[in-house]
Amino acid sequence: MPSLRVPPAASLAGEIMAPADKSITHRALLLAAVSDRSVRVDATLDAEDTQSTVGAVQRCGVEVSGELGGSLEVAGVGLRGLRPPPAIDCGNAGTLMRLLPALLAGQSADHCVLDGDDSLRRRPMDRVARPLRAMGAGVFTAPGGTPPLVVDCRQRLVGCRHELPVASAQVKSCLLLAGLYAEGETWVVEPAPSRDHTERLLEAAGVPLLRDGDAVGVRGPAEGLGLPDMEVPRDFSSAAPLIVAGVLRGDPAVRLPGVNLNARRTGLLAVLERMGAAVTVEDRRHLGGGGEPVGTIVARRATTLHATEIVAHEVPSLIDELPLVALLGAFAAGRTVVRGASELRVKESDRIATVVAVLRALGATIEEREDGFEVEGHPSLRGGEADAAGDHRLAMLGAVAGLASETGVVVSGFEAVGVSYPGFGRDLAALASEGAA
Protein backbone atom coordinates (compact mmCIF):
# COMPACT_ATOMS: atom_id res chain seq x y z
CA MET A 1 0.00 0.00 0.00
CA PRO A 2 1.47 3.41 -0.93
CA SER A 3 -0.12 5.11 2.09
CA LEU A 4 -1.92 4.18 5.29
CA ARG A 5 -4.27 6.24 7.42
CA VAL A 6 -3.92 5.50 11.14
CA PRO A 7 -6.81 6.94 13.17
CA PRO A 8 -6.44 7.96 16.81
CA ALA A 9 -7.00 5.20 19.35
CA ALA A 10 -8.38 5.72 22.85
CA SER A 11 -6.64 2.57 24.09
CA LEU A 12 -4.52 -0.35 22.91
CA ALA A 13 -4.46 -3.87 24.28
CA GLY A 14 -3.31 -7.35 23.40
CA GLU A 15 -0.32 -9.59 22.82
CA ILE A 16 1.80 -9.36 19.67
CA MET A 17 4.66 -11.57 18.53
CA ALA A 18 7.13 -9.07 17.13
CA PRO A 19 9.15 -10.16 14.08
CA ALA A 20 12.35 -12.14 14.46
CA ASP A 21 15.55 -10.18 14.99
CA LYS A 22 16.80 -8.81 11.67
CA SER A 23 20.42 -8.29 12.78
CA ILE A 24 20.71 -11.84 14.12
CA THR A 25 18.95 -13.43 11.14
CA HIS A 26 21.47 -11.79 8.78
CA ARG A 27 24.44 -12.91 10.87
CA ALA A 28 23.15 -16.42 11.51
CA LEU A 29 22.58 -17.05 7.80
CA LEU A 30 26.02 -15.74 6.81
CA LEU A 31 27.87 -17.71 9.49
CA ALA A 32 25.81 -20.84 8.79
CA ALA A 33 26.80 -20.54 5.12
CA VAL A 34 30.51 -20.81 5.98
CA SER A 35 30.14 -23.38 8.76
CA ASP A 36 31.50 -26.90 8.51
CA ARG A 37 28.08 -28.47 8.98
CA SER A 38 24.46 -28.05 8.04
CA VAL A 39 22.84 -25.56 10.42
CA ARG A 40 19.13 -25.19 11.25
CA VAL A 41 18.10 -21.64 12.05
CA ASP A 42 14.63 -21.44 13.63
CA ALA A 43 12.23 -18.48 13.84
CA THR A 44 13.94 -16.46 11.10
CA LEU A 45 12.73 -13.07 9.91
CA ASP A 46 10.83 -13.00 6.61
CA ALA A 47 11.39 -9.48 5.27
CA GLU A 48 12.92 -7.88 2.20
CA ASP A 49 16.35 -7.45 3.81
CA THR A 50 16.66 -11.07 4.93
CA GLN A 51 15.36 -12.28 1.57
CA SER A 52 18.35 -10.46 0.09
CA THR A 53 20.71 -12.35 2.41
CA VAL A 54 19.22 -15.75 1.54
CA GLY A 55 19.52 -14.87 -2.14
CA ALA A 56 23.14 -13.78 -1.68
CA VAL A 57 24.33 -16.99 0.00
CA GLN A 58 22.46 -19.07 -2.56
CA ARG A 59 24.21 -17.14 -5.33
CA CYS A 60 27.48 -18.11 -3.63
CA GLY A 61 26.64 -21.80 -4.01
CA VAL A 62 25.11 -22.47 -0.59
CA GLU A 63 22.01 -24.67 -0.49
CA VAL A 64 19.22 -23.21 1.68
CA SER A 65 15.97 -25.09 2.28
CA GLY A 66 12.83 -24.21 4.23
CA GLU A 67 11.05 -20.88 4.44
CA LEU A 68 11.92 -17.52 5.94
CA GLY A 69 9.59 -16.79 8.80
CA GLY A 70 10.08 -20.34 10.03
CA SER A 71 13.05 -22.71 9.96
CA LEU A 72 15.84 -22.69 7.40
CA GLU A 73 18.39 -25.45 6.86
CA VAL A 74 21.66 -23.98 5.61
CA ALA A 75 24.11 -26.49 4.14
CA GLY A 76 27.37 -24.88 5.25
CA VAL A 77 30.24 -25.08 2.75
CA GLY A 78 33.06 -24.23 5.16
CA LEU A 79 35.03 -21.02 5.59
CA ARG A 80 36.59 -21.20 2.13
CA GLY A 81 33.86 -22.96 0.16
CA LEU A 82 31.88 -19.98 -1.16
CA ARG A 83 31.73 -19.58 -4.95
CA PRO A 84 30.85 -15.90 -5.40
CA PRO A 85 29.19 -14.93 -8.69
CA PRO A 86 30.23 -11.85 -10.71
CA ALA A 87 27.49 -9.74 -9.07
CA ILE A 88 25.14 -9.84 -6.06
CA ASP A 89 22.11 -7.59 -5.49
CA CYS A 90 21.88 -6.64 -1.79
CA GLY A 91 18.57 -4.78 -2.20
CA ASN A 92 18.23 -2.41 0.76
CA ALA A 93 20.21 -4.60 3.18
CA GLY A 94 23.06 -2.51 4.57
CA THR A 95 24.08 -5.27 6.99
CA LEU A 96 24.50 -7.71 4.12
CA MET A 97 26.58 -5.30 2.07
CA ARG A 98 28.86 -4.50 5.02
CA LEU A 99 29.39 -8.08 6.27
CA LEU A 100 29.51 -10.13 3.08
CA PRO A 101 32.75 -8.53 1.73
CA ALA A 102 34.64 -9.94 4.73
CA LEU A 103 33.62 -13.48 3.78
CA LEU A 104 34.18 -12.98 0.05
CA ALA A 105 37.66 -11.54 0.62
CA GLY A 106 38.73 -14.88 2.09
CA GLN A 107 37.68 -17.01 -0.89
CA SER A 108 39.93 -18.31 -3.68
CA ALA A 109 37.77 -16.83 -6.44
CA ASP A 110 37.90 -13.93 -8.88
CA HIS A 111 35.95 -10.78 -8.01
CA CYS A 112 32.36 -9.92 -7.10
CA VAL A 113 30.39 -6.68 -7.37
CA LEU A 114 27.89 -5.90 -4.59
CA ASP A 115 25.16 -3.42 -5.47
CA GLY A 116 21.76 -2.41 -4.11
CA ASP A 117 18.74 -0.16 -4.48
CA ASP A 118 18.83 3.64 -4.68
CA SER A 119 18.66 3.98 -0.89
CA LEU A 120 21.54 1.58 -0.27
CA ARG A 121 23.60 3.29 -2.96
CA ARG A 122 23.61 6.45 -0.81
CA ARG A 123 24.96 4.75 2.31
CA PRO A 124 28.67 4.98 3.25
CA MET A 125 30.65 1.81 2.55
CA ASP A 126 34.17 3.21 2.79
CA ARG A 127 33.91 2.60 6.53
CA VAL A 128 34.34 -1.12 5.78
CA ALA A 129 36.35 -0.82 2.55
CA ARG A 130 39.17 1.23 4.10
CA PRO A 131 39.93 -1.05 7.07
CA LEU A 132 39.58 -4.14 4.89
CA ARG A 133 42.17 -2.69 2.51
CA ALA A 134 44.45 -2.12 5.53
CA MET A 135 44.29 -5.91 6.00
CA GLY A 136 45.27 -6.48 2.37
CA ALA A 137 41.79 -7.02 0.94
CA GLY A 138 40.92 -5.75 -2.51
CA VAL A 139 37.70 -3.89 -1.69
CA PHE A 140 36.76 -0.76 -3.63
CA THR A 141 33.78 1.61 -3.61
CA ALA A 142 32.32 4.05 -6.09
CA PRO A 143 33.58 7.66 -5.91
CA GLY A 144 32.39 9.13 -2.63
CA GLY A 145 32.72 5.85 -0.74
CA THR A 146 29.29 4.50 -1.68
CA PRO A 147 28.13 1.33 -3.49
CA PRO A 148 28.63 -0.52 -5.72
CA LEU A 149 31.37 -2.41 -3.91
CA VAL A 150 33.95 -4.43 -5.82
CA VAL A 151 35.60 -7.28 -3.89
CA ASP A 152 38.73 -8.96 -5.27
CA CYS A 153 38.68 -12.39 -3.65
CA ARG A 154 42.30 -13.35 -4.42
CA GLN A 155 44.23 -11.28 -1.85
CA ARG A 156 46.10 -12.50 1.25
CA LEU A 157 44.75 -10.96 4.45
CA VAL A 158 46.89 -9.91 7.43
CA GLY A 159 45.45 -9.07 10.84
CA CYS A 160 45.81 -5.60 12.32
CA ARG A 161 44.33 -3.33 15.01
CA HIS A 162 41.39 -1.13 14.01
CA GLU A 163 40.43 1.98 16.01
CA LEU A 164 36.89 2.85 14.90
CA PRO A 165 35.98 6.57 14.97
CA VAL A 166 32.29 5.71 15.41
CA ALA A 167 30.82 2.71 17.24
CA SER A 168 29.34 0.43 14.59
CA ALA A 169 28.29 -3.19 15.06
CA GLN A 170 28.30 -3.70 11.29
CA VAL A 171 31.86 -2.46 10.82
CA LYS A 172 33.08 -4.37 13.88
CA SER A 173 31.39 -7.54 12.63
CA CYS A 174 32.91 -7.16 9.17
CA LEU A 175 36.42 -6.84 10.56
CA LEU A 176 36.07 -9.76 12.97
CA LEU A 177 34.79 -11.95 10.13
CA ALA A 178 37.70 -10.87 7.95
CA GLY A 179 39.99 -11.77 10.84
CA LEU A 180 38.93 -15.41 10.47
CA TYR A 181 40.82 -15.45 7.16
CA ALA A 182 43.77 -13.24 8.15
CA GLU A 183 47.23 -14.21 9.33
CA GLY A 184 47.70 -13.18 12.96
CA GLU A 185 45.45 -11.21 15.28
CA THR A 186 42.71 -8.80 14.24
CA TRP A 187 41.54 -6.33 16.89
CA VAL A 188 38.64 -3.86 16.91
CA VAL A 189 38.41 -0.95 19.36
CA GLU A 190 35.22 1.16 19.53
CA PRO A 191 34.58 4.47 21.30
CA ALA A 192 31.48 2.90 22.88
CA PRO A 193 30.14 -0.68 23.03
CA SER A 194 27.95 -1.65 20.05
CA ARG A 195 25.77 -4.73 19.50
CA ASP A 196 27.63 -7.97 20.19
CA HIS A 197 25.51 -10.47 18.22
CA THR A 198 28.44 -11.43 15.99
CA GLU A 199 30.71 -12.07 18.97
CA ARG A 200 28.08 -14.29 20.59
CA LEU A 201 27.62 -16.29 17.40
CA LEU A 202 31.36 -16.65 16.83
CA GLU A 203 31.82 -18.00 20.35
CA ALA A 204 28.90 -20.39 19.83
CA ALA A 205 30.64 -21.56 16.64
CA GLY A 206 33.81 -22.37 18.57
CA VAL A 207 35.90 -19.27 17.77
CA PRO A 208 37.95 -18.12 20.81
CA LEU A 209 37.51 -14.35 21.13
CA LEU A 210 40.41 -12.20 22.30
CA ARG A 211 39.61 -9.42 24.76
CA ASP A 212 41.69 -6.56 26.11
CA GLY A 213 39.67 -3.89 27.90
CA ASP A 214 37.28 -2.40 25.34
CA ALA A 215 38.99 -4.19 22.43
CA VAL A 216 37.77 -7.48 20.94
CA GLY A 217 39.65 -9.65 18.49
CA VAL A 218 40.16 -12.98 16.76
CA ARG A 219 43.26 -14.94 15.81
CA GLY A 220 43.44 -16.30 12.28
CA PRO A 221 43.42 -18.07 10.04
CA ALA A 222 40.58 -20.05 11.63
CA GLU A 223 40.38 -23.78 10.98
CA GLY A 224 36.59 -23.85 10.71
CA LEU A 225 33.25 -22.96 12.25
CA GLY A 226 30.86 -25.23 14.12
CA LEU A 227 27.79 -23.01 14.45
CA PRO A 228 25.10 -24.98 16.33
CA ASP A 229 21.42 -25.10 15.46
CA MET A 230 19.81 -21.99 16.89
CA GLU A 231 16.65 -19.96 17.38
CA VAL A 232 16.41 -16.27 16.50
CA PRO A 233 14.83 -14.06 19.21
CA ARG A 234 12.20 -11.40 18.52
CA ASP A 235 13.64 -8.09 17.35
CA PHE A 236 13.78 -5.36 20.00
CA SER A 237 13.93 -2.62 17.35
CA SER A 238 10.76 -3.95 15.72
CA ALA A 239 9.07 -4.32 19.11
CA ALA A 240 10.06 -0.76 20.09
CA PRO A 241 7.27 1.05 18.15
CA LEU A 242 4.72 -1.22 19.84
CA ILE A 243 6.33 -0.58 23.24
CA VAL A 244 6.05 3.18 22.66
CA ALA A 245 2.47 2.76 21.43
CA GLY A 246 1.72 0.94 24.69
CA VAL A 247 3.33 3.72 26.75
CA LEU A 248 1.14 6.28 24.99
CA ARG A 249 -2.14 4.29 24.77
CA GLY A 250 -1.78 0.87 26.46
CA ASP A 251 -4.90 0.02 28.48
CA PRO A 252 -4.73 -2.41 30.15
CA ALA A 253 -1.43 -3.34 28.44
CA VAL A 254 0.50 -4.25 25.30
CA ARG A 255 2.45 -7.52 25.75
CA LEU A 256 5.39 -8.59 23.56
CA PRO A 257 6.77 -12.09 24.31
CA GLY A 258 10.21 -13.45 23.42
CA VAL A 259 11.88 -10.10 22.71
CA ASN A 260 15.67 -9.86 22.61
CA LEU A 261 16.93 -8.22 25.82
CA ASN A 262 20.60 -7.93 24.86
CA ALA A 263 21.84 -5.00 26.97
CA ARG A 264 23.59 -3.48 23.95
CA ARG A 265 20.24 -3.24 22.15
CA THR A 266 17.84 -2.15 24.88
CA GLY A 267 18.94 1.36 25.79
CA LEU A 268 15.38 2.49 25.12
CA LEU A 269 14.21 0.67 28.26
CA ALA A 270 16.50 2.77 30.45
CA VAL A 271 15.29 5.94 28.72
CA LEU A 272 11.66 4.94 29.21
CA GLU A 273 12.28 4.31 32.90
CA ARG A 274 13.67 7.77 33.53
CA MET A 275 10.86 9.34 31.50
CA GLY A 276 8.36 7.72 33.86
CA ALA A 277 6.96 5.10 31.46
CA ALA A 278 5.13 2.04 32.81
CA VAL A 279 7.19 -0.75 31.18
CA THR A 280 8.11 -4.04 32.85
CA VAL A 281 9.86 -7.25 31.76
CA GLU A 282 8.62 -10.75 32.63
CA ASP A 283 9.65 -14.36 31.87
CA ARG A 284 13.38 -13.74 31.38
CA ARG A 285 15.38 -16.63 29.87
CA HIS A 286 18.18 -17.42 27.39
CA LEU A 287 17.85 -18.94 23.93
CA GLY A 288 20.14 -21.70 22.72
CA GLY A 289 22.63 -21.20 19.91
CA GLY A 290 23.62 -17.56 20.13
CA GLY A 291 22.79 -17.39 23.83
CA GLU A 292 20.71 -14.23 23.58
CA PRO A 293 18.58 -13.16 26.60
CA VAL A 294 14.85 -12.77 25.94
CA GLY A 295 11.72 -11.87 27.88
CA THR A 296 8.16 -10.56 27.70
CA ILE A 297 7.93 -6.77 27.59
CA VAL A 298 4.73 -5.28 29.04
CA ALA A 299 3.89 -1.63 28.27
CA ARG A 300 1.06 0.31 29.91
CA ARG A 301 -0.15 3.88 29.45
CA ALA A 302 2.03 6.30 31.39
CA THR A 303 0.29 8.79 33.67
CA THR A 304 2.95 11.43 33.02
CA LEU A 305 6.07 11.46 30.87
CA HIS A 306 9.12 13.54 31.78
CA ALA A 307 11.58 15.02 29.31
CA THR A 308 15.09 13.56 29.22
CA GLU A 309 18.47 14.02 27.58
CA ILE A 310 20.27 11.43 25.45
CA VAL A 311 24.06 11.82 25.29
CA ALA A 312 26.64 10.31 22.95
CA HIS A 313 27.65 7.25 25.00
CA GLU A 314 23.99 6.09 25.11
CA VAL A 315 23.41 6.34 21.36
CA PRO A 316 24.80 2.93 20.20
CA SER A 317 22.34 1.03 22.41
CA LEU A 318 19.27 2.82 21.00
CA ILE A 319 20.32 4.15 17.60
CA ASP A 320 17.26 2.65 15.85
CA GLU A 321 14.90 3.88 18.55
CA LEU A 322 15.90 7.57 18.60
CA PRO A 323 13.03 8.57 16.26
CA LEU A 324 10.65 7.07 18.84
CA VAL A 325 12.40 9.03 21.62
CA ALA A 326 11.56 12.17 19.65
CA LEU A 327 7.89 11.11 19.53
CA LEU A 328 7.87 10.45 23.29
CA GLY A 329 9.47 13.85 23.81
CA ALA A 330 6.56 15.46 21.95
CA PHE A 331 4.28 14.30 24.81
CA ALA A 332 6.72 14.70 27.73
CA ALA A 333 6.76 17.60 30.16
CA GLY A 334 9.83 19.71 29.40
CA ARG A 335 12.44 19.65 26.65
CA THR A 336 13.84 16.34 25.41
CA VAL A 337 17.33 16.61 23.91
CA VAL A 338 19.23 14.07 21.78
CA ARG A 339 22.96 14.70 21.22
CA GLY A 340 25.86 12.72 19.75
CA ALA A 341 23.66 11.00 17.16
CA SER A 342 25.18 12.18 13.88
CA GLU A 343 25.16 8.52 12.76
CA LEU A 344 21.41 9.00 12.16
CA ARG A 345 22.25 11.06 9.09
CA VAL A 346 23.56 8.02 7.19
CA LYS A 347 20.73 5.56 7.80
CA GLU A 348 18.06 4.65 5.22
CA SER A 349 17.27 8.35 5.29
CA ASP A 350 18.87 11.31 7.04
CA ARG A 351 16.95 10.41 10.17
CA ILE A 352 17.66 13.69 11.93
CA ALA A 353 16.18 15.74 9.11
CA THR A 354 13.33 13.34 8.36
CA VAL A 355 12.27 12.85 11.99
CA VAL A 356 12.14 16.62 12.44
CA ALA A 357 10.15 17.03 9.22
CA VAL A 358 7.63 14.30 10.13
CA LEU A 359 6.96 15.42 13.69
CA ARG A 360 6.85 19.10 12.79
CA ALA A 361 4.25 18.30 10.10
CA LEU A 362 2.16 16.59 12.78
CA GLY A 363 2.24 19.61 15.10
CA ALA A 364 5.23 18.88 17.33
CA THR A 365 7.65 21.59 18.45
CA ILE A 366 11.00 20.15 17.37
CA GLU A 367 14.30 21.68 16.30
CA GLU A 368 17.06 20.07 14.23
CA ARG A 369 20.63 20.06 15.52
CA GLU A 370 23.78 18.90 13.75
CA ASP A 371 24.01 15.74 15.84
CA GLY A 372 20.43 15.32 17.04
CA PHE A 373 17.29 17.28 17.87
CA GLU A 374 15.37 19.00 20.66
CA VAL A 375 11.66 18.47 21.30
CA GLU A 376 9.38 20.62 23.46
CA GLY A 377 6.62 18.50 24.98
CA HIS A 378 2.87 19.29 24.81
CA PRO A 379 -0.19 17.46 26.13
CA SER A 380 -1.30 16.42 22.64
CA LEU A 381 -0.22 16.03 19.02
CA ARG A 382 -2.41 17.36 16.22
CA GLY A 383 -1.86 14.78 13.48
CA GLY A 384 -1.79 15.20 9.71
CA GLU A 385 0.40 13.69 6.97
CA ALA A 386 3.79 12.00 7.38
CA ASP A 387 6.19 11.14 4.57
CA ALA A 388 8.18 7.97 5.36
CA ALA A 389 10.91 9.04 2.90
CA GLY A 390 11.52 5.40 1.99
CA ASP A 391 12.57 4.61 5.58
CA HIS A 392 10.89 1.77 7.50
CA ARG A 393 11.61 3.38 10.89
CA LEU A 394 9.92 6.61 9.77
CA ALA A 395 6.89 4.72 8.46
CA MET A 396 6.44 3.05 11.85
CA LEU A 397 7.03 6.34 13.66
CA GLY A 398 4.24 8.01 11.68
CA ALA A 399 1.84 5.15 12.34
CA VAL A 400 2.42 5.17 16.12
CA ALA A 401 2.04 8.96 16.11
CA GLY A 402 -1.33 8.50 14.41
CA LEU A 403 -2.64 6.34 17.27
CA ALA A 404 -1.69 9.00 19.84
CA SER A 405 -2.75 12.04 17.78
CA GLU A 406 -5.96 14.10 17.83
CA THR A 407 -6.97 13.61 14.17
CA GLY A 408 -4.93 10.64 12.96
CA VAL A 409 -2.00 10.43 10.54
CA VAL A 410 -1.77 9.49 6.88
CA VAL A 411 1.61 7.82 6.34
CA SER A 412 2.75 8.04 2.72
CA GLY A 413 5.26 5.44 1.61
CA PHE A 414 4.08 3.07 4.32
CA GLU A 415 5.22 0.09 2.24
CA ALA A 416 8.76 0.82 3.47
CA VAL A 417 7.92 -1.29 6.57
CA GLY A 418 8.44 -4.35 4.37
CA VAL A 419 12.20 -4.02 4.90
CA SER A 420 11.92 -5.22 8.51
CA TYR A 421 8.28 -5.64 9.64
CA PRO A 422 5.85 -6.42 6.80
CA GLY A 423 2.96 -7.10 9.19
CA PHE A 424 3.32 -3.91 11.22
CA GLY A 425 0.09 -2.28 10.02
CA ARG A 426 -1.89 -5.44 10.73
CA ASP A 427 -0.45 -5.81 14.25
CA LEU A 428 -1.06 -2.17 15.10
CA ALA A 429 -4.69 -2.48 13.94
CA ALA A 430 -5.11 -5.62 16.09
CA LEU A 431 -3.98 -3.74 19.22
CA ALA A 432 -6.38 -0.89 18.44
CA SER A 433 -9.25 -3.29 17.81
CA GLU A 434 -8.73 -5.19 21.07
CA GLY A 435 -8.28 -1.94 22.95
CA ALA A 436 -11.66 -0.72 21.68
CA ALA A 437 -13.44 -3.98 22.52
Please give the distance of CA 38 from its chain centroid, rounded to a whole number.
26
Catalytic residue chosen out of the listed positions 235, 320, 391, 427? 320
Local structure of 237: helix, strand or coil: helix
Cβ atoms 109, 84 nearer than 8 A = yes
118 is catalytic: no
Handedness of CA 36, 133, 26, 107 (dihedral sign): negative
Cα torsion 123, 127, 132, 135 to 10°: value is 170
Cβ atoms 64, 32 nearer than 8 A = no
Handedness of CA 40, 45, 50, 55 (dihedral sign): positive
Q: What is the C-alpha separation between 145 and 256, in angstroms, rounded? A: 39
The CA–CA distances, whole Å, from 280 to 249, 256, 283, 297, 300 equal 15, 11, 10, 6, 9
Describe the crossing of helices 322-331 and 236-249 by its angle, rounded to 10 degrees: 10
Could you list the beta-strand ranges (E) of 301-378: 309-310, 335-338, 365-369, 372-376
Q: What is the C-alpha separation between 2 and 225, in angstroms, rounded? A: 43
Which residues 6+ apart lie within 8 Å of 296 measured at CB?
Answer: 255, 256, 257, 258, 259, 281, 282, 283
Annotated catalytic residues are 320
